[in-house]
Amino acid sequence: GESVGLHLPTLSVQEGDNSIINCAYSNSASDYFIWYKQESGKGPQFIIDIRSNMDKRQGQRVTVLLNKTVKHLSLQIAATQPGDSAVYFCAEKLERDDKIIFGKGTRLHILP
Amino acid sequence: GAVVSQHPSRVICKSGTSVKIECRSLDFQATTMFWYRQFPKQSLMLMATSNEGSKATYEQGVEKDKFLINHASLTLSTLTVTSAHPEDSSFYICSARDHSGLYNEQFFGPGTRLTVL
């Protein structure tokens, strides 16, 4: 289940189950979106991206869904593994702009 | 993929001293680099955009005289935290944009943990 702590919400998922991490983005003009994974004490690691002319994109074990109407992004991780434990951030940018703006983040906790 | 390094990975300093953090793109040229700050259990906040050969562009609320950025070459940007105070303790992360890449991707460094005593 999901709980909201002081800063980062946590999603607890049983190993082997699918995880769905949600994100609301802020700028309706954003046209490029990225999901990052950040392990403790490390920099963000690119997972998958999607442009605003798409509503779904699949990678290896991951799928990103984009709903521009409600400014919502989700990351689905299939068959969650212990190595998926991390904080996941959605990020948005304008393709003509260089700046990547990060969302709040969700901690994914894998239950054995 | 392209690699971005940061040095040092950790630094502890006394209040009032200055600390320099380096960000290097190891196998590509980066005309644009970015500096982020991340407090515990929070997201990455963009501090400034560093452009090679020109002045950095700072985000609103970031003091340019306190966080000095120099981007003297296509592979190196430095962030100097001047007169550091305990509230500057944070995780500083840089990213570099590979303009030659197909998708103009940004690659992130591993971060530098700054602790000010």
Report CB contact under 8 Å: B93, A44.
yes
Tell me the C-alpha distance between B26 and B73, whole Å: 12
Average pLDDT over residues A75-84: 97
pLDDT of B88: 97
The answer to whether the beta carbons of residues A2 and A107 sit under 8 Å apart is no
**A32: confidence class by pLDDT, cuts 50, 70, 90:** very high
Instruction: Give the nearest chain A residue to B99 (CA atoms).
Output: A98
pLDDT value of residue A5: 43
| pLDDT score, position B114 | 98
**Which residues of chain B neighbour A4 with C-beta distances below 8 Å?**
none
Sorted by sequence, the CB contacts under 8 Å of residue A45 that are 6+ apart come out as: A36, A37, A38, A39, B108
* A99/B43 CB distance under 8 A: no
Contact flag A103-B43 (C-beta cutoff 8 Å): yes
Q: Distance (Å, rounded) from C-alpha B75 to C-alpha B80?
A: 17
Give the three-state DSSP class for B87: helix
Whole-number pLDDT of residue A4: 43
Residues with Cβ within 8 Å of residue A104, at least 6 apart in sequence:
A7, A8, A9, A23, A89, B43
Alpha carbon of residue A9 to chain centroid: 12
Least confident span in A78-87, A93-102, B3-12, B57-66 = A93-102
pLDDT value at residue B1: 66
Name the band, by pLDDT with cuts 50, 70 and 90, for residue B28.
Answer: confident
Give yes or no for B109 touching A (CB within 8 A). yes
